[in-house]
Amino acid sequence: MSAALREEAALPNPMIGPHTLEEWLDLPPSEDGSRTELIFGHLLVTPPPSGEHQLTAYWLGRWIDDTIRAAGRSDLFFAPPVGVKISSTLRTALIPDAAILDRKPTGTSFPAEALLLAVEVWSPGNTRSERLAKLTAYAAAGVPFAWTIAQTSKASGLRLTAHRLKGGEYQAENVVDTGGPTTITAAPLPVTVDLDELGF
């Protein structure tokens, strides 16, 4: 976290809601597939993901996992949606759609320092402020890489943007909105993706 963010986090902030990480951890499991995240003290409940969302997350996860296995990287672990405790001070806990961790994915949640790559598949219902808040939270927690994928009007129908953390902020390093194999370098190890495989 940058010095400015640490200073801001130390001050009382009227924008931070009343809910805590402990309350988030105590929530019962969802019965309908919905997800509850904690963003700056506010609980955000999203409905069960659509089939398109799930298919996109599946393929991204498969490419990541296959790459880790092919490289023989015993220090990296793919994880499907998993709870990450981003910050107690900023009262934020997120559930990326896919992730690379530096430890085996056991239990129900992980500290932010375990997260090396966070992947967010944006749904049409995700607002711009929600998307910005999530990326800001990942950056503040020092997550080295973040991918986002969203629907577009391009031929492939999707755009994947891979960010690398530099100076406390994310910078887009790879932007993919066409089909065909493309190697993403903004990751703990290069990952080849192909948006044509998603079938959109």
- Cα angle, residue 61 at apex, residues 98 and 165 outer, rounded to 5°: 50
CA 31, CA 155: separation in Å to the nearest integer?
A: 36
Are the C-beta atoms of 174 and 146 separated by less than 8 Å? Answer: no
CA 98 centroid distance within chain: 7
Helix (H) or strand (E) holding 119: strand 115-121
Q: What pLDDT score does 21 carry?
A: 86
CA 177, CA 149: separation in Å to the nearest integer?
A: 9
CA 65, CA 59: separation in Å to the nearest integer?
A: 10
Q: What pLDDT score does 6 carry?
A: 41
Q: Show the DSSP H helices in 34-80 as ranges.
A: 51-71
Q: Show the DSSP H helices in 93-167 as ranges.
A: 128-140
**Token couple for 60:** 């991204």
Output the tens digit of pLDDT for each of the chain's 200 residues. Answer: 444 344 344 434 557 889 988 888 888 888 887 889 888 898 888 888 888 888 899 999 999 999 999 999 999 999 999 899 998 888 999 999 999 999 998 887 899 999 999 999 998 777 888 899 999 999 999 999 999 999 876 555 889 999 999 999 999 999 999 889 999 999 999 999 999 887 54
CA 187, CA 200: separation in Å to the nearest integer?
A: 24
Amino acid making up residue 43: L
**Under 8 Å CB-to-CB from 186, ≥6 apart: which residues?**
145, 147, 162, 163, 164, 173, 174
Q: What pLDDT score does 154 carry?
A: 58
